[in-house]
Structure 1
Amino acid sequence: MGKLRVGFDCRDLFIAQTGTRTFSEELLDEIRKDPMVELVPLSPSGVILPKGLVSKAFAHIQFIVWKVFLLPLMARQTKVDFLICPDYVAPFWFLGRIKTLPVFHGCNIWELPQNYNSVWRLYFSFLARLGQRRAFRVLTVSSFSKRKLTEVLGIPASRITVMPIGAKTLEKAADRSDNAERPLSGEYILHVGVLDKRKNLPALIKAFSLLPDQQLHLVLVGGRPSKIFMDSYPEIQATVDELNLTDRVHLMGYVSDDRLPLFYKHAKAYVFPSVYEGFGIPVLEAFQYHLPLAASGSASLPEVVGTGGMLFDPGDIKQMAGVIERLLALTPVELDLLRCGQMKALSHYSWPNAWNTVKEVMNGK
């Protein structure tokens, strides 16, 4: 029996900023290691990250043409057996016997409509719904997301498989160097992620302002989202200015993977206040560095955090501040218990486990 030919829609390697790009990079690396599989990367040509309204409109048209026409035709020409689509939308015609596997990272497009352009959301939702109906199986990243896909889109639970994705690979030279410069001279708590509205960062800044330690800093790593409807930067900056925290809250912008480990390595704790996450990869990144972690108790985060961190109500600023304060005051014994929970999570959520789950789906299990 020959190798299984697996096609992979690589468009997000050029377009996505965080989540689906990390997913694509890490899963592709895992597939390449598999001697029983022949990976067939499929990419559109001439993809440019849109910046203005005209280029964004053109990018939307390119997306439709790619998903509806070019990707399925390319998949047929390369004679793949399966086609993995990491951005919700799988082709629904011109496929022949090719089996599609769309990956849904959550239901935020449907549950947080205010964060998206209504026209873009309409056609994206239309394509995603059509694609999942013709799919061989639907993949998702958490039990929470599986439940929501059933509730919101009506996909039968029997057609949805949860794959336990892992942390982003961050082991770089900067991480291993004891002589590398600290990103900040003082002690700080950390958040890593695009400045998206659902990340709830103004609430984190308000909670941070209530902490008694006036020497502590807050570091926010991440650039602004490409979609204006999601951009929380104006509100974040206004909150910092209003609370007179310009000397203690640091917006670092985009940080490369070569430097990002330094921010984790020297942080005092990690806080993840998001109101909606289909999974939450930064939780696992923080676990890799054994950071004390406090996270929102919403959506998938309790599932991912497990016993590796503390939870709070993302809508209750005083409670958030109280949990962060308790987190910073944990005893060595209590920290050891958290780290046991973190190691348990990291042993389950990994890219080898994720790929093995996908292969079981392909084999009809």
Structure 2
Amino acid sequence: MPRSRPTSPSSSAPDLVINGRFLTQPLTGVQRFALEITRHLAHLRPVEVLRPPLPGGTLPVDPATLTVVGRRSGQAWEQFELPAALRRRGRPLLLNLGSTGPLAYGRHISTHHDITYVRHPESFSRLFRTQYRAMIPPLLRGAQRVLTVSEFSRGELAVHFHLDPTRIEVVNNAVAPVFTEEGPLHREREPYLLGVSSPNAHKNFRRLVEAFRRATRHRIRRLLIVGSQAPAFRSASLGNDDEVVMLGRVGDDELGRLYRGAAAFAFPSLYEGFGLPPLEAQACGTPVIAARAASIPEVLGDSALYFDPLSVASIAEAIEAVDASPAVGRRLIEAGRQNVRRFSWERSAEIVSNVVDDVLAASARGTRAT
């Protein structure tokens, strides 16, 4: 249960401000985490979300908690106008739920999901890598506490940035309510295997496509891949034909239909801080085959059929196993249902609220939270 207590809207100004830059960004895993934690945290304690004026999507945050400040957008807003607005508000505690935050503001809790840009630099542009390698170390070392999404990532951050692991709190992702077994299915003329990701090098979709073409399949006829590339990433064209279809970005409602209609879901990534798509697929009642790599076994436990992501033959064997045996699919579906129950945004928001309480209490004592 949360230790923080809700306060009425008529009480004093919130002691916690959330960096709302994520509200102007495309909805990927980082932004979904920020959105859901913000929404659920607002039920536990008063919060104010400061955001840039630039319109950004239709992310559903209660307008009563939102305040537009400044005139700029992007990093210029985050590094200059956000800290200025915080100082005018008396220097409240700032919660950065995206991967970045203002370097010139010392009272903050910051989130960092993973260090993919370090482990797989080939997936990122030189500019992106340079910016993150300059910005992230001082941001995390200066944080009152650091949040991340898995025990795997906690270890990665502690080792790479030389952080005390006791200052890093694990706050898991969870599945949005739209992803459920109940609802319409995507209608495809033939049974299909589904993949969801951007086609960046570390996502490993080249090997998945090769394995799919190589696998002996009697039931599954097509591979559908959902997702688009952000400009920061290098191109990794996978081709597009009648057997392998790139669908681009889709909304959550359509993604739910695609999950529910799939014969199976494949997650071949070489590196993930958490890996939300296979959990969403499980919530929609779809069997999952996945890479035994990084955080993925931590998140999926024994609920997935694993393969070696560096071996095309191993990926093909997993595809063949789920294609050939309905019993394998049924076992994975039931195991997936059990696995999804381990995660909830409510519990994750409670963890964040408790971290905020610890930092505020330590600040009142004149010490640093640990």
TM range, smaller chain: 0.7 to 0.9
Q: Take 2:24 and 2:285, find their aligned partners in 1: how far apart are those partners?
A: 31
AA at the equivalent of 2:163: I
Identity %, equivalent residues: 25
Q: CA deviation at 1:14?
A: 1.6
Q: Deviations over 1:276-329 (max 9, x none)?
A: 111101011011012111111111111111111011111100011101211233
Are positions 1:361 and 2:370 aligned together?
no
Deviations 1:23-58 (A, max 9, x none): 122222212322xx1121111223679xxxxxxxxx
1:306–1:341 Cα contact (<8 Å) kept = no
For 2:43, the equivalent position in structure 1 comes to 33
Query: CA-atom RMSD, angstroms?
Result: 2.5
After superposition, the Cα gap between the structure-2 partners of 1:348 and 1:176, relative to the gap in structure 1 and judged at 3 Å, is closer
Unaligned stretches of 5+ residues in structure 2: 8-13, 58-71, 359-369
Match of 2:24 among 11, 14, 20: 14
Counterpart selection for 1:208 from 208, 212, 220? 212
1:227 and 2:232 matched: yes
CA drift of 1:358 comes to 0.9
> Equivalent of 2:34, from 24, 27, 31?
24
Q: Which ranges in structure 1 are unaligned for 5 or more consecutive residues?
A: 50-60, 241-245
Cα distance in structure 1, aligned partners of 2:34 and 2:215:
38
Write out aligned runs for 1:39-188 (5 A): 39-46=47-54, 63-79=74-90, 81-95=92-106, 99-171=107-179, 177-178=183-184, 182-188=186-192
**Segment of structure 1 superposing worse, 74-83 or 273-282:** 74-83
Normalized per residue, the structure richer in helix is 1
- Give the Å deviation of 1:268: 0.4
Deviations 1:52-82 (A, max 9, x none): xxxxxxxxx9544223222222233345743
Which string of whole-angstrom CA distances, capped at 9 and with x for unpartnered residues, describes residues 315-362 of structure 1?
100011101211233453x55543443234322221111111111212
TM-aligned CA deviation for residue 13 of structure 1: 2.2
**3-state SS, counterpart of residue 11 of structure 1:** helix
Deviation at 1:260, TM superposition (A): 1.5
Distance 1:74 1:339, change over 3 A: same
Q: In the alignment, what sits opposite 2:195? A: 191
TM-score (norm: length of structure 2)? 0.82
Distance 2:209 2:6 in 1: 55
Distance across 2 between alignment mates of 1:64 and 1:209 = 43
CA contact (8 A) 2:178 2:256 kept: yes
Corresponding residue of 2:308 = 313
Structure 1 217/336 Cα, relative in aligned 2: closer, same or farther at 3 Å? Answer: closer
Letter in 2 for 1:45: P
User: Which residue number in structure 2 is paired with residue 247 of structure 1?
Assistant: 242
Q: Contact between 2:154 and 2:168, CA under 8 Å: does it hold in 1?
A: yes
What TM-score, normalized by structure 1, do the two folds share? 0.83
